[in-house]
Amino acid sequence: MATYKQLMAEKAALEAKLAEVRANELAGVVEKIQSLMAEYDLTVEDIVEKRRRGRPAGSGKAASAAEKTSLPPKYMDPKTGATWSGRGRAPAWLGKNRDKFLIPDA
């Protein structure tokens, strides 16, 4: 029966052989793909699968966050000049009576 060290050596030899054979086959595959692309006048864009459903690529939160602008302030604290647009968590200075902090033009 083979020892652990012998089996590990065989494994390493097989992995090296696998890497060598794969590299040789990949070279042939890439060459074949390139020749077919040239023969049929194809580009990478022709081969890559296009998105068909859902939002277009790049329209996630990062793209929409850059386009958003802040809302004009609706309330203002006359003591500090702090403002609040009326969205999100209400600031502590606003209290329960919001009417006295309402900006007239808003």
Q: Give the pLDDT of residue 59.
A: 64
Q: Give the pLDDT of residue 75.
A: 92
Give the separation between CA 55 and CA 49, rounded to whole angstroms: 15
Give the separation between CA 26 and CA 30, rounded to whole angstroms: 6
Higher pLDDT among residues 18 and 61, named by residue: 18
Q: Give the pLDDT of residue 15.
A: 96
**One-letter amino acid of 26:** L
Task: Encode pLDDT of 37-85 as tens digits.
Answer: 999 999 988 888 777 777 666 666 665 555 678 888 999 998 998 999 9
Q: Give the pLDDT of residue 96.
A: 87
Side-chain half-sphere of 25: how many Cα atoms within 13 Å? 6
Q: What is this structure's pTM?
A: 0.38
Structure tokens, 49: 């699968």
If you average pLDDT over every residue of the chain, what do you get? Answer: 86
